[in-house]
Amino acid sequence: MSPYVFTLLIFNLGLGTTMTFASSHWLLAWMGLEINTLAIIPLMTRQHHPRAVEATTKYFLTQATAAALILFASTSNAWLTGEWAINQMSHPLATSTIMLALALKLGLAPVHFWMPEVIQGLDLTTGLVLSTWQKLAPFALLLQVSSTVNPLILTLIGLLSTLIGGWGGLNQTQLRKILAYSSIAHLGWMVLIIQFSPPLATLSLLIYIIMTTSAFLTFKLTSSTTMNALATSWTKSPMMTSLATLILLSLAGLPPLTGFMPKWLILQELVKQDLPMLAFFAAMTALLSLYFYLRLCYTVALTSSPNTITMLTPWRLNPTQTSPLNPLTTMLTLALLPLTPAILALVIY
Amino acid sequence: MTYLVSLFLLGLIFGLVAVASNPAPYFAALGLVIAAGAGCGVLVGHGGSFLSLVLFLIYLGGMLVVFAYSAALAAEPFPETWGDRSVLVYVLFYILGVMVVVGWFWGGWHEACWVAIDELKELVVLRGDVSGVALMYSSGGGLLMLCAWVLLLTLFVVLELTRGLNRGTVRAI
Amino acid sequence: MLKILIPTFMLFPTIWLVPGKWLWTATTAHSLVVASASLSWFKWCSETGWVAPNLYLALDPLSFPLAVLACWLVPLMIIASQNHVAHEPLTRQRTYISLLVSLQVFLILAFSAMDILTFYVMFEATLIPTLIIITRWGSQTERLSAGTYFMFYTLLGSLPLLVALLYLLNDTGTLSMHTLQYIQMTNPDTLGTMLWWVACLLAFLVKMPLYGVHLWLPKAHVEAPVAGSMVLAAVLLKLGGYGMMRMMVVLGPLTKEMAYPFIILALWGIIMTGSICLRQTDLKSLIAYSSVSHMGLVASGILIQTPWGFTGAIILMVAHGLASSALFCLANTSYERTHSRTMLLTRGLQMILPLMAAWWFLANLANLALPPLPNLMGELMIIVSVFNWSSWTILLTGLGTLITASYSLHLFLTTQRGPTPQHFISMDPSHTREHLLMALHLIPLLLLVLKPELMWGWCF
């Protein structure tokens, strides 16, 4: 891909998301989403691999469906109530359809099936963009409509996402699929809390983005996309692979790592809303996710797989895929929990 | 007029069934053209003549290109038509589905939602939607720029995806 | 607090900067200095109970024996692991010691936390280093399932605990241990409150472990390297007992009825796990089951909520911590020589390692609660207070004591006495390091006989 085209596409990727952020009118928000989708499509097929093309096709179809649903719902809302503003939706038909469409865009539980398939077809960098940046625009819309959506739908989607996100990842050996399921589970937590405390949901998204970035970048550093490759990857960068254990446990949400913070705050908020049983079930579904993270931990650093002599040498070479972002996000992934009060003060109050 | 609109509605449904039942690309494109034309006719019947004109032009232009392209790509000696068994099953299934839905909603729901855009009806050229378009041209300049930019972007994306046999994305492996 | 915590943190630079040749010596010396400094906590007692240098960290007579125990265990773990880790690459040795030290940090913070939520976070934080120690440095493939069992049993109990704690926080507005003892829950009889009661204790009962949810412990003990077994038996199980004592204050009137099934399970567990010990073939597994049996006694002592029960529980926790850790060290010394944990194969060691046999004897006597030792003091206090609660329990506890004595003697006789098998061909003599290790375990145990009020909790 020519660097000019690449720059143009990256610029449009940013333009789409910021347009959605900035708009208060459904039409503009929809347009931002479409620009966003259009811009990422050539980026996804950059490898020209048949799997990438297949993934792109699937992605395009789902995103186009979701965008069409959004357009349909916002138009019908305007038709029925005469209101185009995003945060003033009132008709239940429109809000439910919008919620479904946004769930499809974000890859939430009943309509999540495209997510693992698509991420599996992409390279790790594009997968990272897909599971971080591409979540932002739909999430911004979700934040604005969440107060009008039926709370039961939100809760069901959230709980189902955490459950499916944990369940689906159990039997996977492909890292990208596992990360996709982890994304589903994390977004489920955010949807659970979004009706009670939107800032908290934003904070969770932020923390999730930081954590998943370090996971993707670490896997990229060792160029591993399956558990087998991960098992032999410690020869490439022993330090990063031992940190990868902690990154994965942070994604699983174990204290004293950063990943515990959003879970803790979300559970606290749920209990504060007098929903302790919901909090309990959500916490239990986190155990399902923990299982596959734990399995990854076992392969990445806690066991040493049998190796040939030639496999043992790569640590002598400097890794080629380093990213300056990786140390930063890894530090944040591991050590943000003690800063919880400061972050709370910044984000929520 | 009612008969005309009903005819258009029937055409819309049958056109959609014709596309959705997976015939050969020729016939699917034909079905799409029928559906688009009938849909535009429905819009005209309810007061959106400018909108329907624009839609018809764009659809027809786009559909003709798609038709030509798909015909060129998938030139089969024996294309599947709606009469073939595999396609016929789909056709019957969808028609059955439409009938079920019709039965479900039979009772005049359309009368509440079926409002014309303004008082003027039928084949009058100067309509409410025209004034909306004029408003957009006079005060929505930024939005128009953006729309033009999106079109340009789409062009870029399509070119990037389809360029060359060796370097593009769509190619035989 | 900081005068212990900062030197503990400074262990990390020591570990990573000291030349490889001096790694073990330097870290042992440094951690021993920290452990000796931590003894000063014994002199901290104030009239009010709490010694609170700040709002977040404080110690009282309940927590400082356990905190001192945690500090004391680290040099011992370093000494004990020296033999089997020292042949690994230098970075891994440093990582290993770092994990042990991070455990110490988390444990000190857990025992000195003023806020129950801080305690919870630190309680959970100990999972990660322990998991890594078990699954990275354990020796067999079953260590992975042991690690999974360990994580999932503990988290299955402790996630409801988190929700219950947040519920308590929401209900009362505080989780500080200063204020929590004056607080009553509002509606004591609903189903929700009962579930809350269970959720509050379940995590600690799993961690103890209570009979019925104890399956993770023998697995973890068998698969863990010696340091992992030591810290697990000596301190991590005690986190459960400590947490229960802290929560008991809050649980209030509900406990009287709700505790029945748990007390019965705990007492029944003493008999059951003791009987399992009697016909156990695996050395480490036997010691692990003996831990479960002792912890059952501790759990029942805590659950009946009398001052004697509490005092007995904490005495037994400290004494059992030292004794079982010593037993695991001994098991490891014989494992390093015979490369087998099977008791049928490691017999008659008295002929080869006579001095070790003396240590085995002492440690076994401590385990079966010989009269002057603090183990007996703890067991007696618990048995008496449980007897006072219901006289029928003497059947269970008495039988339990009998079984404990039998399997301890069985352990000693099988491993030490009798003819030496033919397959012991060349064996290292016992090292000074190992004798030092045993001495550092058993001397404190003996010294505690002289001044037991150091670990008497509130009752002196």
Q: Which has the higher per-residue pLDDT, B104 or B107?
A: B104
Cβ of B153 within 8 Å of Cβ of A35? The answer is yes
Cβ of B150 within 8 Å of Cβ of A53? The answer is no
Cβ of A5 within 8 Å of Cβ of B150? The answer is no
Domain ranges of chain A: 1-139, 150-308+321-348
- Enumerate the residues of chain C whose CB falls inside 8 A of the CB of residue A272: 166, 170
Write out the residue range of the structural domain in which residue B75 sits.
Answer: 1-123
**End-to-end Cα spacing for chain A:** 45
Size of interface A-B (CB pairs under 8 A): 39
Helices then strands, counting H and E runs in chain C, come out as 21, 0
pLDDT tens digit sequence for C26-81: 999 999 999 999 998 887 666 666 776 777 888 888 888 999 999 999 999 999 99
Cβ of C159 within 8 Å of Cβ of A272? The answer is no
Residue among A35, A39, A41 whose CB faces B161 most closely: A41
Cβ of A5 within 8 Å of Cβ of B171? The answer is no
Q: How far, in Å, CA of B119 to CA of A64, rounded?
A: 35
- The token pair at C286 is 């036997």
- Find tokens 């060129």 and name the residue: B72
CB-based burial label for C267 (10 Å; 0-12, 13-18, 19+)? buried
* Cα C190 off chain centre by: 35
- The token pair at A194 is 């979004």
Residue A219 near residue A230 (C-beta atoms within 8 A): yes
Residue A118 near residue A58 (C-beta atoms within 8 A): yes
The subunits that touch chain A, with at least 3 C-beta pairs less than 8 Å apart, are B, C
Mean pLDDT in each 10-residue stretch from start to end of chain A (349 residues)? 88 94 91 93 85 91 94 90 87 91 93 93 92 94 91 94 93 93 95 92 94 93 87 82 92 92 94 92 93 92 77 70 84 91 83
Q: Is the dihedral of CA C227, C229, C233, C239 positive or negative?
A: positive
Q: B159 to chain A: nearest residue by CA? A: A42
Cβ of A255 within 8 Å of Cβ of C170? The answer is no
Residue among A246, A255, A294 whose CB faces C124 most closely: A255
Cβ of C147 within 8 Å of Cβ of A302? The answer is yes
Helices then strands, counting H and E runs in chain A, come out as 16, 0
Cβ of A53 within 8 Å of Cβ of B169? The answer is yes
- Enumerate the residues of chain A whose CB falls inside 8 A of the CB of residue B156: 5, 8-9, 42
The subunits that touch chain C, with at least 3 C-beta pairs less than 8 Å apart, are A
Nearest-CA distance from B47 to chain A in Å?
Answer: 15
Cβ of A50 within 8 Å of Cβ of B157? The answer is no
Residue B25 pLDDT grade (very low, low, confident, very high; cuts 50, 70, 90): confident
Q: A46 to chain B: nearest residue by CA? A: B169
Residue A236 near residue A315 (C-beta atoms within 8 A): yes
- Find tokens 């019908």 and name the residue: A76
Domain count, chain B: 1
The SS3 of residue B4 is helix
Cβ of A272 within 8 Å of Cβ of C91? The answer is no
Apex C177 CA angle, C176 and C180, nearest 5: 80
Nearest-CA distance from C66 to chain A in Å?
Answer: 21
- Enumerate the residues of chain B whose CB falls inside 8 A of the CB of residue A48: 167-169, 171
- Closest by CA position to C233, among listed C156, C151, C316, C159: C316
Q: What would the 3-class secondary structure string for A4-36 be?
A: HHHHHHHHHHHHHHHHHHHCCEHHHHHHHHHHH
Residue A240 near residue A331 (C-beta atoms within 8 A): no
Does A48 reach chain B within 8 Å, measured CB to CB? yes
Cβ of A246 within 8 Å of Cβ of C124? The answer is no
Apex A203 CA angle, A202 and A206, nearest 5: 90
Helix, strand, coil percent values for chain B (each to nearest 5):
70, 0, 30
- In this complex, whether A and B touch, counting 3 or more CB pairs under 8 angstroms, is yes
In this predicted complex, what is the ipTM?
0.91
Q: How far, in Å, CA of A226 to CA of A230, rounded?
A: 6
Q: How far, in Å, CA of A298 to CA of C138, rounded?
A: 12
Does A42 reach chain B within 8 Å, measured CB to CB? yes
Give per-residue burial for C127-145: e unless 16+ CB within 10 Å, then b: bbbbbbbbbbbbeeeebbe
- Closest by CA position to A332, among listed A261, A283, A269, A267: A261
Q: B165 to chain A: nearest residue by CA? A: A48
Cβ of B157 within 8 Å of Cβ of A35? The answer is no
Q: Which residues of C touch A (CB under 8 A)?
A: 91, 95, 106, 120-122, 124-125, 127-128, 132, 135-136, 144, 147-148, 151-152, 155-156, 159-160, 162-164, 166-167, 169-170, 192, 196, 199
Which of A 214-253 lie inside 8 A of C, CB atoms? 238, 242, 245-246, 249
Nearest-CA distance from A44 to chain B in Å?
Answer: 10
Nearest-CA distance from C262 to chain A in Å?
Answer: 22
- Closest by CA position to A220, among listed A191, A240, A202, A197: A240
Q: Which has the higher per-residue pLDDT, C150 or B62?
A: C150
- Closest by CA position to B31, among listed B67, B83, B72: B67
Q: Has residue B159 been placed in a domain?
A: no
Nearest-CA distance from A38 to chain B in Å?
Answer: 7
Does A290 reach chain C within 8 Å, measured CB to CB? yes
Cβ of B154 within 8 Å of Cβ of A39? The answer is no
Residue A32 near residue A20 (C-beta atoms within 8 A): yes
Cβ of A45 within 8 Å of Cβ of B161? The answer is yes
- The token pair at B130 is 């025209």
Cβ of A298 within 8 Å of Cβ of C163? The answer is no
Does B65 reach chain A within 8 Å, measured CB to CB? no
| Mean pLDDT score, B10-31 | 85
Q: Has residue B53 been placed in a domain?
A: yes
Backbone angles phi, psi at A226, to 5 degrees: -125, 170
Does A315 reach chain C within 8 Å, measured CB to CB? no
pLDDT tens digit sequence for C354-412: 899 999 999 999 998 888 899 999 999 999 999 999 999 999 999 999 999 999 999 99
- Closest by CA position to A66, among listed A2, A168, A134, A161: A134
Apex A68 CA angle, A63 and A69, nearest 5: 100
- Find tokens 């890292």 and name the residue: A175
Beta strands in chain B (DSSP E): none
- Find tokens 């107060």 and name the residue: A147
Nearest-CA distance from C123 to chain A in Å?
Answer: 9
- Enumerate the residues of chain A whose CB falls inside 8 A of the CB of residue B168: 48
Residue C314 near residue C455 (C-beta atoms within 8 A): yes
Does B76 reach chain A within 8 Å, measured CB to CB? no
Confidence (pLDDT) at A107: 92
- Enumerate the residues of chain B whose CB falls inside 8 A of the CB of residue A13: none
Confidence check: pLDDT of C460 > 50 = no
Task: Compute and round to an integer the Cα radius of gyration of chain B.
Answer: 20
Q: How far, in Å, CA of C231 to CA of C448, rounded?
A: 20
DSSP per-residue letters across C212-258: TS-THHHHHHHHS-HHHHHHIIIIIHHHHHHHHHHHHHHHGGGHHHH
Cβ of A286 within 8 Å of Cβ of C127? The answer is no
Q: How long, in residues, is chain C?
A: 460
Mean pLDDT of chain C: 90
Does B2 reach chain A within 8 Å, measured CB to CB? no
- Enumerate the residues of chain C whose CB falls inside 8 A of the CB of residue A259: none
- Enumerate the residues of chain C whose CB falls inside 8 A of the CB of residue A337: 121
Cβ of A276 within 8 Å of Cβ of C160? The answer is no
Q: How far, in Å, CA of A236 to CA of A217, rounded?
A: 14
- Closest by CA position to B24, among listed B91, B89, B88, B80: B80
Residue B166 pLDDT grade (very low, low, confident, very high; cuts 50, 70, 90): low
Does A193 reach chain C within 8 Å, measured CB to CB? no
Nearest-CA distance from A35 to chain B in Å?
Answer: 7
Q: Has residue B146 been placed in a domain?
A: no
Residue A98 near residue A73 (C-beta atoms within 8 A): yes
Cβ of A302 within 8 Å of Cβ of C135? The answer is yes
Q: Has residue B156 been placed in a domain?
A: no
Q: How far, in Å, CA of C125 to CA of A257, rounded?
A: 8
Confidence (pLDDT) at B42: 84
